[in-house]
Structure 1
């Protein structure tokens, strides 16, 4: 007995896992602030994998089955990440310290391709002018830059959405 939509289910699952691995390799941090080129890439990828998921079945039911499979897999993956440290570590990046007690981590900044201008912009959004005023600056797992200031009476945290990098911070 052949289930008519089994092929679509298998294809959709394969595309989902391929895209998950590709985003892990190429960096989810870049998705925190989409620019025009990123949106075009996402649209082209979705168009290119559509046929890979549904094959020759271009019916409404074929598309709905593919979408349902993607939603179910996404739901299961999120539950596994919530319940299992192994899956969470496998799929999520770790937050990265960029500045600690006013000292920049040049290796992390270079590896993450975060420019001096990006750091200064994030600091200005928080009302800070000097690196020495920063108690802790982190690149969060969602790609935002969080800053906690050294000022005890004005201790607050802000988030800065990363934009595409133009310069790499030099040592």
Structure 2
């Protein structure tokens, strides 16, 4: 079999293995990385590098594997955008962690989110107590969004521009 065709098949296999592994282990793994997470990523990249290029350690072999990964990622994002059902299969939905100051212990347990992690996210958003949280959501990218019950919520410039466009149309 052609060496580069072999690299393409191996790279596609590794890519989809990683997609499935992240889906199984959850979106929490995508959020802020600690030391163990960084070590895991480095070890995984080292382990799968050989699985993708095999014995071909040439520059062209590495570039072929990288090109396949970029192409597969591009194609997957296009498919996720075009087909919402496919997107739902690949990506998990956001999960509500706190609603009107009440913690959803079932979701927290299912997602393995500790109270310390939740408190850290609250502190990052300037909220001290659980009762002050109107809504806390684990987003699809693994970050925790916090909306407090305060009237003086801050908005980003991006959200303001979107609102103006909606009002005009």
Partner of 2:112: 113
Partner of 2:153: 155
Q: 3-state DSSP class of the match of 1:62?
A: helix
Partner of 1:161: none
2:138–2:145 Cα contact (<8 Å) kept = yes
Q: Which runs of 4+ in 1 moved over 3 A?
A: none
Q: 3-state DSSP class of the match of 2:55?
A: coil
Partner of 2:89: 90
Report the alpha carbon displacement of residue 91 of structure 1 after superposing the two structures with TM. 1.2
1:8–1:54 Cα contact (<8 Å) kept = yes
Partner of 1:143: 142
Normalised by the length of structure 1, the TM-score is 0.82
Higher percent of residues as helix:
2
Determine whether 1:74 maps to 2:73.
yes
Q: 3-state DSSP class of the match of 2:29?
A: helix
Normalised by the length of structure 2, the TM-score is 0.83
Instruction: Call closer, same or farther: CA 1:100–1:47 in 2, change over 3 Å.
Output: same
2:26–2:111 Cα contact (<8 Å) kept = no
2:96–2:138 Cα contact (<8 Å) kept = yes
Segments of structure 1 that go 5 or more residues without pairing to the other structure are 159-171
RMSD between superposed Cα atoms in Å: 1.9
1:149–1:157 Cα contact (<8 Å) kept = no
1:107-158 deviations in Å (ceiling 9; x for gaps):
1111112222222232233333332221111111111111111122x12479
Partner of 2:47: 48
Instruction: Call closer, same or farther: CA 1:98–1:28 in 2, change over 3 Å.
Output: closer
Instruction: Call closer, same or farther: CA 1:49–1:155 in 2, change over 3 Å.
Output: same
Determine whether 1:63 maps to 2:52.
no
